[in-house]
Structure 1
Amino acid sequence: MLPGRPDVVVLDPPRQGAGREAIEALAASGARRIVYVACDPAALGRDAGYLRGLGWRLRSTRGLDLYPETHHVEAVAVFEPAG
């Protein structure tokens, strides 16, 4: 981890998502916002649950069809501390 507190963290994990350990580290980083880019909605949902349990809220989400004529959808979700 770099010294200081980040304003925004952009997370683009592999298809299986970030996982609990990475989410816990990011939630504790002091960032004011986490932008999560996901290629698997199920992994995003799981990691969003971890963030919610750590006191974060989903501010916005958007699905993007970056691969037309396939079943793949990218999602961008923005999280902020709930307090």
Structure 2
Amino acid sequence: MSIPDVPSVFKQPTPAERPWWWKLVDESGEEVSVDEEFADQRFTNQGDAESWVGEVWEELLEAGVAAVVLFENDREVYGPMKLSA
């Protein structure tokens, strides 16, 4: 008995399918390492990316992130945008 292939709805999306992402930086502009929960988040559109950072900005700030830069694939869209209370 063989196990069937995993249906495509369960496969991880490719960067092409989720081209929007945030670069998380400190005060000097250096990229910050964060917990897996916040690292390498990718989004299908700009609105989803902006909503996500709006929901987790305080946690990012606590993790040492001072600002974020929005990218679509390799194109810098805007930023750095400072995170502050």
Shorter-chain TM-score above 0.5: no
Output the TM-score relative to the length of structure 2.
0.30
Which protein is richer in strand relative to its size? 1
Larger radius of gyration: 2
TM-score normalized with structure 1 length: 0.31
